[in-house]
Structures are given as structure tokens and as C-alpha cells.
A and B are shown apart, each in its own frame.
Chain A
């Protein structure tokens, strides 16, 4: 967890101990919530907004979340739903302005990147994923990170099963050159 500055909230309805308990709770889950939102939204600023909303909802339900073993799953579900809502709401609204066209193509150097450090490799994978168009990135993330089936993703996104399979296949194909450059070639499988 990051070394976050601490702001204590004292409201008439919450005990200080409850507030610090919530801060501890938030620190335990904030990376997971932010990762989920960032991978789906493809935009760190929006992901932070989404993560903020997730934790405000968590605070409103903290009475039963604080002792629930399913709190992580609850947070992940809310983060996923809010991210998908964000994508549905804003991407449709601003499709005319084609924000995808502003993202440069993924640059994979000709030289092999296999000797990059672990952090750099992971950053490159995340960056490549972020640059995928949303209609490819979102199903890919739901499939590989949220463990949803093709059918579930199609239902969730309201598109045909065939389109989901095609989009995920294209997303994987788009990531292949970068993975091969990293020396991840599946030879060990």
C-alpha cells in the first residue's frame, strides 16, 4: 500500500474508531479496486473517480462489510459495475469525438525486451492493454481478470456472443507482438 496522507473524518454519526477502522479497510482494498477500475476504464483519472465512488458506497454499507468475508468480492463487483456504467455513459456520449484516435499506436521495439525488469514488463503489459480500444479491452479484462465466461460477458455488455469472441481474439492478437518481444512465448505450456 502506498504511504497515504491520513485524513481523519469525524462526523456526528460515526465514532472515531469506526473512521480509523474504515481507513484500515480502505488501505487493504484500494489497490484491488483501483486496478479493476483502471483496467476497465483505461484511464487513471477516471479510475480514481470510480474508486472514490466505490469506497463511498462501501462506507455507506460499512456496517455489514466490516465483518464480512465477502467484502473483497463486494468491492470488486461494485468497481466493475461502476466502471462499466462509466464506459456506457460517457463513451457513447463522446463517441463523436473519438478519444481512441488520440492514443498512439503501441510501440514494440524491434529489439527483444526479454531482459526488462519485472516492473517494466508489467508496466508494458498494462500499457498495451490500456491502448486497446474499449470494445476489445473490456471483454479481455472481464475474461482474464474477472473470470467471466464469453456468455456472461456478452450478456453483461449487451452484445452478441460472436462479437465478444471476435473482440477478445483481436485483443489477444494485438497483445501478441509485445508478449513475444518480452520473451513470453508460451513455450513452457
Chain B
């Protein structure tokens, strides 16, 4: 039965001709190609940048990372200095940036919790969660109402 069904469906699908592309496709593609070609190079994807610009960008990023990790004042004291010093001489050298980030986050957290009453922080977190949920629900409703029903209706008509 399953072989017969496979043959039957396979034959029916093989006989189906190609769907005709919408007449608007060609003009859409050409318009989009023209729009992208008119963009200045720095607004195109990174892989399309001129080679000197890519090299310069990589060098600039590398320099900034080195400057931040090597010269920032907070690398001088506290647990970070211990961790960074420990990692500097060990096989965990690769983890140094992560340790620094963790320490910065910890310092930021202690600064915030010391300066702001905890009730305010909890209230702000709750308000943020409620707003996020409301926005998510609104987006879902809009997607279902404006997009799905419209496209389903359009396809049913076509």
C-alpha cells in the first residue's frame, strides 16, 4: 500500500508544472539591486566593503580591544586584578576578557544596588516585564490579524 501511495503521489507531483512567478518579481529584483547599488560602501554588508576599509576596521577594533583591556583603570585593583593576573600567566589566558567582563558587570551591579533602593529595582523589573509582555501580545495580535488573515484571504482568492 505504501509503495503504491508513493508511486501515486510521486507521479502526480512530477506531472505538476512549475508555478508561474508573479509578474512583479522581476521589477522588484531589479529595483532592489538598483537600491543596493546606490548605497554608499559603508552601508553595505561588511563582506562588500573595500579591502582597505575592512583591514582598517579590523585594526581599529583590535586596537580598541587592546586599549580597553590593557589600560582601563579598573584593571588595577580588586578581584579582577587577581583574576587577570592569575589568568595572564596560565593556560587560561584566553579567558581574561571574559573575566574582565564578569568583573565589570559585578561592579556595575554593586554600584546600582548600593545607590538605588531594592524596591525601586524590583518595581522597575516588574514594569519592564509587564511592558514586554504587553508589547509581545500586541505584536502577536497584530501579526495574526493584519498579516496571517490577510495573506490567507489573498491566497484563497488566488
Query: Could you tell me which A residues sit within 8 Å of B by CB distance?
Result: 1-14, 19, 23, 26-27, 30-35, 38-39, 43-45, 48, 51-52, 55-56, 59, 94, 96-97, 99, 102-103, 122, 125-126, 129-130, 140, 144-145, 169, 171-173, 175-176, 179, 182, 184-186, 189
Interface Cβ pair total, 8 Å cutoff: 147
- Residue among B15, B33, B148 with most chain A CB within 10 A: B33
Task: Tell yes or no: B71 within 8 A of A by CB.
Answer: no
Give the distance in Å from the alpha carbon of A159 to the alpha carbon of B11 in the complex: 26
Could you give 17 example pairs across A and B, Cβ below 8 Å?
A7-B31, A11-B34, A11-B38, A26-B29, A30-B26, A33-B21, A45-B151, A55-B25, A56-B36, A59-B29, A99-B148, A102-B152, A122-B15, A122-B17, A125-B12, A126-B19, A144-B9
Task: Tell yes or no: B40 within 8 A of A by CB.
Answer: no
Specify the main secondary structure of chain B where it touches its partner: helix
Task: Tell yes or no: B57 within 8 A of A by CB.
Answer: no
Residue of B nearest to A33 (CB): B21
Task: Tell yes or no: B63 within 8 A of A by CB.
Answer: no
The answer to whether B31 and A43 have CB atoms under 8 Å apart is: no
The answer to whether B26 and A186 have CB atoms under 8 Å apart is: no
The answer to whether A51 and B21 have CB atoms under 8 Å apart is: yes
Residues of B within 8 A of A125 (CB): 12-13, 16
Residues of A within 8 A of B20 (CB): 2, 31, 34
Residues of B within 8 A of A44 (CB): 22, 154-155, 158
The answer to whether B10 and A34 have CB atoms under 8 Å apart is: no
Query: Besides the contacts A35-B18, A172-B5, what 16 more A-B pairs have beta carbons closer than 8 Å?
Result: A2-B23, A4-B25, A9-B34, A11-B33, A23-B30, A26-B29, A34-B22, A38-B19, A44-B155, A48-B24, A48-B28, A51-B21, A52-B28, A56-B29, A172-B8, A189-B4
